[in-house]
Amino acid sequence: MTDPGRIAPGLPCVTLGARVERVNCAGLRAAFVAAALWPALSAGPLLAEVAPPVIGADRYKPALAQTPDGCQVWMIDDGWEGYAWNRTDRRGKPVCMKVESCLVENTDQLFATDSARVRPAEAARLKAFFRQQGVFSYGIHGHTDARASDDYNMRLSQRRADAVARVALDAGARVASARGFGERMPVATNTTAAGMQKNRRVEITCYREIGRY
Protein backbone atom coordinates (compact mmCIF):
# COMPACT_ATOMS: atom_id res chain seq x y z
CA MET A 1 0.00 0.00 0.00
CA THR A 2 1.36 3.42 -0.92
CA ASP A 3 2.27 5.62 2.02
CA PRO A 4 -0.34 8.43 2.09
CA GLY A 5 2.16 10.71 3.78
CA ARG A 6 4.40 10.43 0.72
CA ILE A 7 1.52 11.26 -1.58
CA ALA A 8 0.32 14.32 0.30
CA PRO A 9 2.44 15.17 3.36
CA GLY A 10 0.55 16.73 6.23
CA LEU A 11 -2.92 16.17 4.82
CA PRO A 12 -5.56 14.06 6.61
CA CYS A 13 -6.88 11.25 4.47
CA VAL A 14 -8.87 8.03 4.38
CA THR A 15 -8.22 4.79 2.57
CA LEU A 16 -10.88 3.55 0.17
CA GLY A 17 -11.37 0.15 -1.38
CA ALA A 18 -12.65 -3.26 -0.34
CA ARG A 19 -12.29 -2.11 3.26
CA VAL A 20 -12.16 1.33 4.82
CA GLU A 21 -9.63 2.24 7.46
CA ARG A 22 -8.69 5.47 9.18
CA VAL A 23 -5.32 7.04 8.36
CA ASN A 24 -5.15 10.18 10.50
CA CYS A 25 -8.65 11.10 9.33
CA ALA A 26 -10.03 14.54 10.14
CA GLY A 27 -13.30 16.02 8.98
CA LEU A 28 -14.27 13.34 6.44
CA ARG A 29 -15.85 10.35 8.19
CA ALA A 30 -14.77 6.99 6.83
CA ALA A 31 -18.31 5.64 7.01
CA PHE A 32 -19.58 8.52 4.88
CA VAL A 33 -16.86 7.94 2.33
CA ALA A 34 -17.60 4.22 2.10
CA ALA A 35 -21.36 4.69 1.73
CA ALA A 36 -21.61 7.83 -0.36
CA LEU A 37 -18.31 8.91 -1.89
CA TRP A 38 -16.88 5.70 -3.31
CA PRO A 39 -19.73 5.06 -5.82
CA ALA A 40 -19.30 8.60 -7.13
CA LEU A 41 -15.52 8.30 -7.38
CA SER A 42 -15.80 5.07 -9.37
CA ALA A 43 -18.58 6.29 -11.66
CA GLY A 44 -16.28 6.89 -14.64
CA PRO A 45 -16.39 9.75 -17.15
CA LEU A 46 -19.23 11.65 -15.50
CA LEU A 47 -17.15 12.25 -12.35
CA ALA A 48 -16.50 15.93 -11.68
CA GLU A 49 -12.73 16.18 -11.66
CA VAL A 50 -9.68 18.11 -12.80
CA ALA A 51 -6.20 16.82 -13.56
CA PRO A 52 -3.46 18.50 -11.53
CA PRO A 53 0.17 17.62 -12.36
CA VAL A 54 1.80 14.41 -11.17
CA ILE A 55 3.20 14.70 -7.64
CA GLY A 56 7.00 14.41 -7.87
CA ALA A 57 8.11 11.45 -9.93
CA ASP A 58 5.19 9.29 -8.80
CA ARG A 59 2.60 8.03 -11.27
CA TYR A 60 -0.30 9.03 -9.03
CA LYS A 61 -2.34 12.06 -10.06
CA PRO A 62 -4.66 13.71 -7.54
CA ALA A 63 -8.08 14.65 -8.89
CA LEU A 64 -10.60 17.07 -7.45
CA ALA A 65 -13.97 15.43 -6.77
CA GLN A 66 -16.98 16.29 -4.65
CA THR A 67 -19.21 14.65 -2.09
CA PRO A 68 -22.99 14.49 -2.62
CA ASP A 69 -23.51 17.47 -0.30
CA GLY A 70 -21.22 19.68 -2.39
CA CYS A 71 -17.93 19.61 -0.45
CA GLN A 72 -14.70 19.13 -2.38
CA VAL A 73 -12.15 16.37 -1.80
CA TRP A 74 -8.83 15.47 -3.34
CA MET A 75 -8.58 11.83 -4.33
CA ILE A 76 -6.00 9.45 -5.76
CA ASP A 77 -6.94 6.07 -7.19
CA ASP A 78 -4.48 3.55 -8.64
CA GLY A 79 -7.27 1.23 -9.78
CA TRP A 80 -7.11 -0.98 -6.69
CA GLU A 81 -6.89 1.36 -3.71
CA GLY A 82 -7.82 4.98 -3.39
CA TYR A 83 -7.18 7.86 -1.04
CA ALA A 84 -9.34 10.90 -0.36
CA TRP A 85 -8.94 13.92 1.87
CA ASN A 86 -10.76 17.19 2.35
CA ARG A 87 -9.87 20.16 0.23
CA THR A 88 -9.49 22.98 2.76
CA ASP A 89 -8.99 26.72 2.64
CA ARG A 90 -6.12 28.54 4.33
CA ARG A 91 -8.00 28.49 7.61
CA GLY A 92 -8.28 24.71 7.47
CA LYS A 93 -12.01 24.71 6.74
CA PRO A 94 -13.49 22.33 4.13
CA VAL A 95 -14.21 23.93 0.76
CA CYS A 96 -17.94 23.43 0.18
CA MET A 97 -20.15 24.82 -2.53
CA LYS A 98 -23.51 26.48 -2.84
CA VAL A 99 -25.97 23.96 -4.29
CA GLU A 100 -28.92 25.38 -6.23
CA SER A 101 -31.38 24.44 -8.93
CA CYS A 102 -30.33 26.53 -11.91
CA LEU A 103 -32.35 25.24 -14.88
CA VAL A 104 -35.47 23.16 -15.55
CA GLU A 105 -36.06 22.14 -19.17
CA ASN A 106 -39.19 20.48 -20.55
CA THR A 107 -38.16 17.31 -22.35
CA ASP A 108 -40.77 17.90 -25.07
CA GLN A 109 -38.56 20.80 -26.18
CA LEU A 110 -35.24 18.96 -25.86
CA PHE A 111 -36.17 15.58 -27.37
CA ALA A 112 -38.51 13.98 -29.87
CA THR A 113 -41.00 11.43 -28.47
CA ASP A 114 -39.24 8.31 -27.14
CA SER A 115 -35.86 9.79 -28.10
CA ALA A 116 -32.78 10.49 -26.02
CA ARG A 117 -31.05 12.56 -28.70
CA VAL A 118 -30.98 16.28 -27.91
CA ARG A 119 -32.30 18.37 -30.79
CA PRO A 120 -29.35 20.24 -32.44
CA ALA A 121 -30.72 23.73 -31.76
CA GLU A 122 -31.36 22.83 -28.13
CA ALA A 123 -27.89 21.31 -27.77
CA ALA A 124 -26.34 24.59 -28.92
CA ARG A 125 -28.42 26.52 -26.40
CA LEU A 126 -27.50 24.13 -23.60
CA LYS A 127 -23.80 24.38 -24.45
CA ALA A 128 -23.99 28.14 -24.01
CA PHE A 129 -25.62 27.59 -20.63
CA PHE A 130 -22.95 25.12 -19.50
CA ARG A 131 -20.17 27.57 -20.40
CA GLN A 132 -21.25 30.07 -17.76
CA GLN A 133 -18.65 31.25 -15.26
CA GLY A 134 -18.62 30.53 -11.54
CA VAL A 135 -19.99 26.97 -11.61
CA PHE A 136 -17.71 24.14 -10.45
CA SER A 137 -19.93 21.30 -11.67
CA TYR A 138 -23.47 20.27 -12.58
CA GLY A 139 -25.93 17.61 -11.49
CA ILE A 140 -28.34 16.50 -14.23
CA HIS A 141 -31.58 14.69 -13.37
CA GLY A 142 -34.11 13.30 -15.81
CA HIS A 143 -37.85 12.84 -15.08
CA THR A 144 -40.89 11.52 -16.97
CA ASP A 145 -44.64 11.42 -16.60
CA ALA A 146 -46.41 8.20 -15.53
CA ARG A 147 -47.88 6.99 -18.81
CA ALA A 148 -45.49 4.10 -19.47
CA SER A 149 -44.15 1.41 -17.14
CA ASP A 150 -41.84 2.29 -14.29
CA ASP A 151 -38.97 0.35 -15.88
CA TYR A 152 -39.39 2.08 -19.23
CA ASN A 153 -39.57 5.51 -17.61
CA MET A 154 -36.46 4.87 -15.51
CA ARG A 155 -34.47 3.84 -18.58
CA LEU A 156 -35.72 6.73 -20.72
CA SER A 157 -35.04 9.34 -18.05
CA GLN A 158 -31.52 7.95 -17.52
CA ARG A 159 -30.77 8.03 -21.25
CA ARG A 160 -31.96 11.62 -21.43
CA ALA A 161 -29.94 12.67 -18.39
CA ASP A 162 -26.87 11.05 -19.96
CA ALA A 163 -27.55 12.86 -23.25
CA VAL A 164 -27.67 16.26 -21.54
CA ALA A 165 -24.53 15.31 -19.58
CA ARG A 166 -22.70 14.65 -22.84
CA VAL A 167 -23.68 18.12 -24.04
CA ALA A 168 -22.24 19.55 -20.83
CA LEU A 169 -18.99 17.61 -21.23
CA ASP A 170 -18.72 18.72 -24.87
CA ALA A 171 -19.01 22.30 -23.59
CA GLY A 172 -16.08 21.73 -21.23
CA ALA A 173 -18.19 21.56 -18.06
CA ARG A 174 -17.78 19.13 -15.19
CA VAL A 175 -20.66 16.76 -14.47
CA ALA A 176 -21.01 15.56 -10.87
CA SER A 177 -23.93 13.23 -11.56
CA ALA A 178 -26.41 12.22 -14.25
CA ARG A 179 -29.40 10.29 -12.94
CA GLY A 180 -32.80 9.26 -14.18
CA PHE A 181 -35.72 9.17 -11.75
CA GLY A 182 -38.48 8.16 -14.16
CA GLU A 183 -41.94 8.99 -12.85
CA ARG A 184 -40.93 8.74 -9.17
CA MET A 185 -40.49 12.45 -8.42
CA PRO A 186 -43.48 14.28 -9.96
CA VAL A 187 -43.94 18.02 -9.50
CA ALA A 188 -47.56 17.95 -10.69
CA THR A 189 -50.45 15.54 -11.11
CA ASN A 190 -50.23 12.84 -13.77
CA THR A 191 -54.01 12.86 -14.27
CA THR A 192 -54.04 15.87 -16.62
CA ALA A 193 -52.14 16.73 -19.80
CA ALA A 194 -50.83 19.95 -18.26
CA GLY A 195 -49.58 18.11 -15.19
CA MET A 196 -47.86 15.40 -17.21
CA GLN A 197 -46.13 18.02 -19.33
CA LYS A 198 -44.66 19.61 -16.18
CA ASN A 199 -43.38 16.22 -15.04
CA ARG A 200 -41.53 15.58 -18.31
CA ARG A 201 -38.40 17.52 -17.49
CA VAL A 202 -34.65 17.63 -17.01
CA GLU A 203 -33.51 19.47 -13.89
CA ILE A 204 -29.98 20.86 -13.65
CA THR A 205 -28.31 21.61 -10.33
CA CYS A 206 -25.37 24.03 -10.12
CA TYR A 207 -22.54 23.60 -7.62
CA ARG A 208 -21.00 27.04 -7.17
CA GLU A 209 -17.77 27.68 -5.30
CA ILE A 210 -18.20 30.10 -2.40
CA GLY A 211 -15.27 32.50 -2.43
CA ARG A 212 -11.69 31.75 -3.45
CA TYR A 213 -8.44 31.03 -1.66
User: Domain range holding 185?
Assistant: 97-209
Given a cut of 50, is residue 42 above it in pLDDT? Answer: no
Is the same domain home to 111 and 157? yes
Is the same domain home to 179 and 121? yes
Which pLDDT belongs to residue 59? Answer: 60
Domain boundary among 86, 121, 150: 86
pLDDT per residue as tens digits for the range 137-179 = 999 999 999 999 999 999 999 999 999 999 999 999 999 999 9
Is the same domain home to 167 and 132? yes
Is the same domain home to 32 and 101? no
CATH number, residue 190? 3.30.1330.60
Split at pLDDT 50, 70, 90, the class of 58 is: low
Is the same domain home to 136 and 43? no
Is the same domain home to 132 and 172? yes
Domain total for the chain? Answer: 2
Closest to 164 (Cα-Cα) out of 152, 177, 182: 177
Is the same domain home to 77 and 136? no
Given a cut of 50, is residue 123 above it in pLDDT? Answer: yes
- Residue 76 pairs in a beta bridge with 83
Given a cut of 80, is residue 117 above it in pLDDT? Answer: yes
The answer to the question of residue 12 being in a domain is yes
The answer to the question of residue 114 being in a domain is yes
The answer to the question of residue 91 being in a domain is no
Given a cut of 60, is residue 127 above it in pLDDT? Answer: yes
Is the same domain home to 52 and 112? no
What does the pLDDT average to over 45-66? Answer: 56
Domain boundary among 86, 112, 143: 86
The answer to the question of residue 39 being in a domain is yes
Higher pLDDT, 38 or 128: 128
Given a cut of 80, is residue 45 above it in pLDDT? Answer: no
Q: What is the pTM of this model?
A: 0.69
Cα 186 from Cα 123, distance rounded (Å): 25
| pLDDT mean across residues, the chain | 77
Which pLDDT belongs to residue 1? Answer: 38
Is the same domain home to 107 and 79? no
* Proportion of the chain above pLDDT 70, given as a percent: 70
What b-and-e string marks burial along 134-172, b requiring 16 or more CB atoms within 10 Å of the CB? ebbbbbbbbbbbbeeeeeebbbbbbbbbbbbbbbbbebe
